[in-house]
Structure 1
Amino acid sequence: MIEAIQITREFRYQGITLTDLGENFTPEYIKDFYAGTYPALTNAEIQDNGISDDKHIYTFSTKVATKG
């Protein structure tokens, strides 16, 4: 028997789960939207962590930079 499940998206940044704005919006758009609240997201990378527990998980991560 095949069972259909609904996969939701989850966006994470520094231990915070950010609300998905809707499936019509790309992860890039969501990152840009939240950059207004979290300015470091402007230069963040989007990591697709795959599906776990019926959630498609994306993580926004920033690079640590050093002045040199």
Structure 2
Amino acid sequence: MNGQAMTMKFMYGGVELPTGPADTNPQAVKEQLAAAFYPELANAEIRGPRVEGDAVVYEFVRAVGTKGVTT
């Protein structure tokens, strides 16, 4: 075991999102990005973590639904 720290990546729609080096809480990252750049993330699901190489990856997945339709 080499003891090297793993990096964290946050993905949305196949794109790595910009985050700060201290961003380690996926819920906090989601809320910050929703407020500043991606309002659709407000209701997104957080999937992960999964390990890819030397990174821990979380993925934000938009909630899919029908707006305003009742049955």
Normalising by the residue count of structure 2, what TM-score does the alignment of the two structures yield? 0.79
Structure 1 alignment gaps of length 5 or more: none
**1:13-60 CA deviation, whole Å, 9 max, x = no partner?**
012101232335411110011112111001011111321101000000
The AA in structure 2 aligned to 1:41 is L
CA contact (8 A) 1:11 1:60 kept: yes
Tell me if 1:33 matches 2:61: no
Where 2:10 maps in the other structure, the secondary structure is strand
Structure 2 alignment gaps of length 5 or more: none
Normalising by the residue count of structure 1, what TM-score does the alignment of the two structures yield? 0.82
CA contact (8 A) 1:9 1:20 kept: no
The residue number in structure 1 matching 2:9 is 10
